[in-house]
């Protein structure tokens, strides 16, 4: 049924539909309404879950972690500072191979203080062993949460579903909320896995010198996740008619210049790409959806016709540059491509990335012979 709701609300409806069993969460702007709504579902009995009002995000993830080792389907949501506070426990969650799903509403990290959209928070956690998706609509947020449970429970690694603060979280769009019976068809209850078991006691998370072997198992399963994600996506399309893939390409098949980005900036890029095409410029847009595992091969495939690539990062790794730019460059290097990659940093701290900004990005990329350092859009003169 189609509803006009915010992406935050879409996430809450998705967690309801996924029948999460333990929710432990701590509020933080701009995600709080996700957990407020879930708390309401639990209170009214619409969702048969235990809702733990924890005293910090570190505890939120710790509670999800232990509830998950005990066998329950778990959920939490956070942003920025909360995500940073959970950092240590994110490693525990992936190391223990737990299918936890978390919604992260991307927000800039202090200091200085800024509540608005910035992807550095989740990208800073890219080494924690969590799979990561970046959404660009409320519909996609809903769908990705549902898919996330199935992928997580198959691969046995946790999944972080990202969406930009305020731009997505608080924007109202049409979201088609599927029938529960269709969700149940796509997402059965959590399959059995090794859990805390009174009848078969073991110790989980022991000290070990076999550490490198367990990391390799994680590596193997992260690699598997790409194909599994596509397989599950195809299943999703069969039931619900929507498919997102690991990345979504627009007019890339014959493009000379491809804009690469994540999240809602992609939408503006597509509008500008259409205008550019009207002027005779072959511009394409590639939106990265799955960031961990990083689908390097597929991305190189999408980028193969480009003579120039412009990556727009709504994030920044000080001393290095835009994070997606580095990952794209590394992937291209792996495919022996020599296509120059132009790096752009824009939209940090929720600064609006407008069509004019993207036109400037296209123009600069076209007119600059060599990429050089990253270009920052929107600074004061």
Partner 1 sequence: MDRSAKIKFPIAEEELMYSGHTACPGCGAALALKYVLKGLGPRTIIVIPPSCVGVIGAGFPLSSLNIPVLRIPFESTAITASGIRAALDVMGKEDINVLAWAGDGGTFDIGLQALSGSAERNDDIIYVCYDNEGYMNTGIQRSSSTPAGAWTTTTPAPHVKDTPKKDIVRIMAAHNIPYIATASIGYPADLIKKVKKAKKIKGTKFILIFSPCPTGWRYSPDLTISIAKLATETGIFPLYEIEDEEKYILSSKKTEKPLRDYFALQGRFRNLSEENFQSLEKRVKKEREYLKRMAG
Partner 2 sequence: MKKKYSLKSFDTLPITAISFLTTEGNETGEWRSQRPVLDSEKCSRCGLCWMYCPDNAIQAEGGSFHISYKYCKGCGICAKECPQNAIVIEKEER
Torsion angle of the four alpha carbons 361, 365, 371, 377, in this order, in degrees rounded to the nearest 10 = -10
CB of 276 to partner 1, least distance (A): 50
**Closest by Cα among 288, 293, 289, 261 to 127:** 293
* Residue 40 touches which member of partner 1, partner 2, none, C-beta under 5-8 Å by kind: none
CB of 217 to partner 2, least distance (A): 6
CB of 46 to partner 2, least distance (A): 34
CB of 223 to partner 1, least distance (A): 24
Q: Is 228 in the site for partner 2 (CB under 8 A)?
A: no
**Closest by Cα among 206, 216, 102 to 162:** 102
Q: Is 323 in the site for partner 1 (CB under 8 A)?
A: no
- For residue 253, how many C-alpha atoms fall within 13 Å in the half-sphere facing its CB? 1
**Closest by Cα among 284, 189, 186, 292 to 243:** 186
CB of 58 to partner 1, least distance (A): 6
Q: Is 370 in the site for partner 1 (CB under 8 A)?
A: no
Stretch binding partner 1 (CB under 8 A), from 67-75, 231-239, 280-288, 308-316: 67-75
Q: Is 234 in the site for partner 1 (CB under 8 A)?
A: no
Contact pattern for partner 1 over residues 87 through 106, marking x by CB under 8 A = -xx--x--------------
Q: What is the DSSP string of 297-334?
A: HHHHHHTTT-SEEEEEES--BTTTB-HHHHHHHHHHHH
Strand partners, 6: 172
Q: Regarding beta strands 172-176 and 2-6, do their DSSP bridges make them parallel or antiparallel, or are they unpaired? A: antiparallel
Q: Is 21 in the site for partner 1 (CB under 8 A)?
A: yes
* Residue 48 touches which member of partner 2, partner 1, none, C-beta under 5-8 Å by kind: partner 1
Stretch binding partner 2 (CB under 8 A), from 82-90, 92-100, 173-181, 274-282: 92-100
From candidates 3, 58, 126, 360, binder to partner 1 by CB under 8 A: 58
Stretch binding partner 2 (CB under 8 A), from 30-38, 199-207, 302-310, 331-339: 199-207
| Element (DSSP H or E) covering residue 140 | helix 138-155
Burial class of 370 by CB neighbour count within 10 A (0 to 12, 13 to 18, 19+): exposed
d(CA 36, CA 143): 20
Determine the length of the chain: 381
Residues 205-224 that bind partner 1 (CB under 8 A): 205-210
Q: Which is nearer to partner 1, 193 or 297 (CB)?
A: 193
Q: First vs last Cα of the chain: how many Å apart? A: 49
What token pair was written down for 149?
A: 């449970």
From candidates 111, 207, 367, 370, binder to partner 2 by CB under 8 A: 207
Q: Is 55 in the site for partner 1 (CB under 8 A)?
A: yes
* Residue 194 touches which member of partner 2, partner 1, none, C-beta under 5-8 Å by kind: partner 2
Stretch binding partner 2 (CB under 8 A), from 25-33, 54-62, 198-206, 244-252: 198-206
Stretch binding partner 2 (CB under 8 A), from 20-28, 196-204, 252-260, 301-309: 196-204
d(CA 29, CA 240): 31
**Closest by Cα among 244, 263, 339 to 301:** 339
CB atoms within 10 A of CB 189: 10
d(CA 103, CA 77): 5
From candidates 4, 174, 196, 320, binder to partner 1 by CB under 8 A: 196
SS3 202: coil
Stretch binding partner 2 (CB under 8 A), from 202-210, 260-268, 316-324, 337-345: 202-210
Residues in contact with partner 1 by CB under 8 A are 21-22, 24, 48-50, 52-56, 58-59, 62-72, 74, 88-89, 92, 196-198, 201-210
């Amino acid at each position: 049924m189609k509803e006009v709701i915010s992406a935050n609300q879409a996430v809450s409806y998705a967690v309801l539909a996924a029948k999460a069993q333990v929710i432990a969460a701590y509020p933080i702007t701009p995600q709080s309404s996700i957990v407020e709504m879930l708390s309401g579902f639990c209170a009214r009995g619409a969702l048969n879950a235990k809702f733990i009002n924890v005293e910090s995000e570190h505890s939120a993830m710790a509670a999800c972690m232990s509830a998950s080792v005990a066998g329950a389907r778990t959920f939490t949501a956070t942003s920025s500072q909360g995500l940073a506070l959970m950092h240590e426990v994110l490693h525990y969650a992936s190391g223990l191979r737990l299918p936890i799903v978390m919604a992260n509403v991307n927000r800039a990290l202090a200091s200085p203080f800024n509540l608005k959209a910035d992807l550095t928070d989740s990208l800073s956690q890219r080494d924690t062993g969590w799979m990561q998706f970046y959404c660009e609509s409320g519909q996609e947020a809903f769908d990705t949460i549902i898919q996330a449970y199935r992928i997580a429970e198959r691969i046995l690694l946790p999944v972080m579903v990202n969406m930009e603060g305020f731009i997505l979280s608080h924007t109202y769009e049409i979201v088609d909320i599927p029938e529960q019976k269709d969700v149940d068809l796509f997402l059965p209850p959590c399959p059995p896995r090794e859990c805390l078991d009174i009848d078969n006691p073991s110790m989980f998370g022991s000290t070990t010198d076999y550490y490198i072997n367990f990391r390799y198992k994680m590596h193997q399963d992260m690699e598997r996740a790409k194909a599994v994600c596509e397989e599950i996506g195809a299943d999703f399309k069969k039931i619900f008619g929507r498919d997102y893939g690991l990345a979504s390409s627009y007019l890339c098949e014959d493009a000379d210049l491809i804009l690469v980005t994540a999240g809602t900036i992609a939408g503006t890029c597509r509008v500008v790409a259409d205008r550019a095409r009207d002027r005779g410029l072959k511009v394409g847009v590639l939106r990265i959806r799955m960031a961990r595992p990083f689908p390097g091969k597929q991305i190189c495939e999408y980028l193969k016709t480009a003579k120039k690539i412009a990556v727009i990062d709504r994030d920044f790794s000080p001393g290095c540059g835009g994070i997606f730019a580095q990952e794209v460059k590394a992937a291209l290097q792996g495919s022996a491509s020599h296509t120059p990659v132009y790096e752009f940093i824009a939209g940090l701290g929720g600064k609006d990335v407008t069509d004019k900004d993207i036109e400037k990005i296209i123009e600069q990329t076209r007119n600059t012979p060599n990429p050089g350092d990253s270009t920052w859009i929107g600074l004061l003169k």
